[in-house]
């Protein structure tokens, strides 16, 4: 069994009206330094978001959420931020901002092996809504 790796993660939130401080969790961004892993997993529940903010621009939200994935991936397609080293991209992604798209506080965890499995577990735990029956 491989040695455990520590990672940091933050929950990605959509806050359609910042002044109301209401939000829904829509994804997780996870950074594991030892395995050089930086990835975001997003699952936007559009019906939930529209229930919170019927006038929300879904296309705009989708575009902003896609930028999280591109910045994690890095490269020229992610603009100037995508050219930064992985650690700097992580810090940029989790920096506090008062816009519609925010990340929550950074938390730490341990994974045995593949950080992608930890990312999927977190999405299942903090993003997906378990519906009765």
116 is a domain residue: yes
58 is a domain residue: yes
Neighbours of 74 (CB within 10 A): 16
Neighbours of 71 (CB within 10 A): 22
107 is a domain residue: yes
- Selected residue with higher pLDDT from 97 and 9: 9
Give, in degrees to the nearest 5, the angle at Cα 47 between 41 and 51.
120
pLDDT > 70: percent of the chain = 97
**Residue 23: which region, alpha, beta or left (left: phi > 0; alpha: psi -120 to 50)?**
beta
pLDDT of residue 1: 63
132 is a domain residue: no
Full domain range(s) for residue 109: 16-27+53-127
pTM for this prediction: 0.92
99 is a domain residue: yes
6 is a domain residue: no
pLDDT(133) > 70: no
Count of domains observed in the chain: 1
81 is a domain residue: yes
Q: For 92-125, how does the pLDDT look when each residue is reduced to its tens digit (9 = 90+)?
A: 999 988 789 999 999 999 998 899 999 999 999 9
Task: Say if residues 29 and 94 touch (Cβ distance below 8 Å).
Answer: yes
89 is a domain residue: yes
């Amino acid at each position: 069994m491989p040695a455990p790796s520590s990672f940091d993660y933050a929950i990605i939130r959509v806050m359609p009206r910042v002044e109301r401080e209401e939000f829904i969790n829509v994804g997780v961004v996870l950074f594991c330094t030892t395995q050089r892993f930086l990835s975001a997993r997003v699952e936007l529940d559009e019906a939930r978001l529209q229930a919170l903010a019927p006038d929300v621009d879904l296309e705009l939200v989708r575009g902003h959420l896609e930028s999280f994935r591109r910045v994690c991936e890095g490269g020229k397609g992610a603009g100037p931020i995508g050219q930064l080293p992985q650690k700097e991209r992580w810090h940029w992604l989790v920096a506090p901002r008062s816009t519609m798209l925010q990340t929550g506080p950074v938390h730490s965890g341990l994974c045995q092996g593949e950080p992608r499995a930890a990312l999927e577990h977190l999405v299942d735990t903090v993003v997906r809504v378990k519906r009765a029956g």
